[in-house]
Copies of this chain bind each other. A is one copy, B any other.
Amino acid sequence: MLPVGVVGASGYSGIELVRLLLAHPHAQLMVATSQANVGRKLSDLYPQFLDSGVELVQTDIDQLTNKCQLVFLCLPHSQSAELAAALYRNGVGVIDLSADFRLDTPEPYLTYYDWQHPCPELLGQAVYGLPELHRAAIAETRLLANPGCYATGALLGLIPLFKANLKLRDIIVDSKSGVSGAGRKPELAFSVVEATESVRAYKVASHRHQPEILSQLQGIADHELRFSFTPHLMPMKRGILSTIYVQLAEDELGRDFKAIYRDFYLDEPFVRVLDEGQLPQTRSVCGTNNCHLSVVVDKAAQRLIIITALDNLLKGASGQAVQNFNLMQGFPEKMGLTSLPPLF
């Protein structure tokens, strides 16, 4: 059993991570921290854990170092970096679910996060934890940047095309997310009264996952891109559907795009290209680490429309973190991630 810790265990991704780790055959949860709930039983916040005995404690670097071989950080961006650096230097493995190590260089942190990165020297060492793109590097790292939820849905829809050396100059990602993506915080905008029976876009052309997606895509094929990303808030708890529009050159319209996707994802444990006639829906992947994907060729418009669906808190956060944990520790990749949730 590998001793692990979760920092920020009371938030939505933190608590899902605790749930997965408690059921993981090779992980032992030694420490679960929550600054706002020090001394409380986890079951006071989530009665589902009545039998677990987990108690929330203060975040303490020494305790984490002494008790854990690997620590998951589920903190808001900019609150993770220094703690991650300290643990990493103490020899503890780190899986950071925040954005703090997802970008290669410190500059975009200034632009998009209005934040001076405190340990830019580590940016080059952190591995971006999208197994479908960086599996080998993930297995070798001790500092992992877990991808953003939107970024995961966008990248899984796009990397097969980039890897196939198609020239893709124009890409639009239109994403629809449940409100848990905003994190666990009391806000009128997310209340039943104000957020159900309504749909809206937000941070149009300015969301922080945009440079994250672009940075990964240009790591594969560095041609110039026109890229737009629009996130939308849906009246539901969890799930992200991304509708991706890719302009094709006329001479590439005849390629067998479904074969490209099927081949690319053939051996992937969590990505499924749906059969002809089926389209992804978030309900079918929520509660799992799966991503469902369809490709439609819109011939008249010379365009590819790719749709991906995933659970923002699992494949988009805590499930992917456990998948990365398995890869880093040499466990089977699906370990602890196979149980099917209630079907609706």
- Interface positions of A (Cβ within 8 A of B): 12, 15-16, 19, 22-23, 46-50, 170, 172, 174, 176, 178-180, 184-188, 190-202, 204-205, 226-228, 230, 232, 234-239, 241, 243, 245, 247, 272, 274, 278-288, 292, 294, 296-298, 300-303, 305, 307, 309, 311, 313-314, 339-344
Per a CB cutoff under 8 Å, which of B199, B201, B237, B283 touches A344? B237
Question: Is there an interface contact between B302 and A226, defined as CB atoms closer than 8 Å?
Answer: yes
Question: Is there an interface contact between A282 and B198, defined as CB atoms closer than 8 Å?
Answer: yes
Question: Is there an interface contact between B48 and A193, defined as CB atoms closer than 8 Å?
Answer: no
CA distance A301 to B173 in the complex (A): 12
Closest CB-CB distance, A339 to chain B, in whole Å? 5
Question: Is there an interface contact between B339 and A198, defined as CB atoms closer than 8 Å?
Answer: no
Q: With A241-B201, A307-B204, A343-B48 known to touch, is A193 a contact of B12 (CB < 8 Å)?
A: yes
Question: Is there an interface contact between A192 and B196, defined as CB atoms closer than 8 Å?
Answer: yes
Q: With A197-B239, A234-B234, A281-B198 known to touch, is A190 a contact of B187 (CB < 8 Å)?
A: no
CA distance A247 to B49 in the complex (A): 33
Chain B residue contacts of A22, Cβ below 8 A: 340
Chain B residue contacts of A228, Cβ below 8 A: 245, 298, 301, 303, 305
Number of copies of this chain in the oligomer?
4
Per a CB cutoff under 8 Å, which of B19, B192, B197, B279 touches A283? B197
Chain B residue contacts of A239, Cβ below 8 A: 197-199
Nearest 8 interchain pairs by C-beta:
A198-B283, A200-B281, A205-B298, A47-B284, A186-B186, A226-B301, A174-B174, A287-B342
Question: Is there an interface contact between B236 and A339, defined as CB atoms closer than 8 Å?
Answer: no
Chain B residue contacts of A184, Cβ below 8 A: 188, 193
CA distance A343 to B238 in the complex (A): 11
Q: With A191-B179, A228-B303 known to touch, is A241 a contact of B186 (CB < 8 Å)?
A: no
For residue A195, which residue of chain B has the nearest CB? B192
CA distance A243 to B201 in the complex (A): 8
CA distance A202 to B179 in the complex (A): 22
Contacts A15-B343, A192-B237, A198-B236 known; list 10 others, CB within 8 Å: A47-B281, A179-B193, A186-B191, A187-B191, A191-B195, A192-B192, A197-B238, A197-B283, A201-B243, A204-B296
Per a CB cutoff under 8 Å, which of B47, B197, B199, B237 touches A278? B47
For residue A185, which residue of chain B has the nearest CB? B188
Chain B residue contacts of A46, Cβ below 8 A: 284, 343
CA distance A340 to B20 in the complex (A): 9
Question: Is there an interface contact between A199 and B298, defined as CB atoms closer than 8 Å?
Answer: no
Q: With A204-B307, A342-B341 known to touch, is A176 a contact of B179 (CB < 8 Å)?
A: no
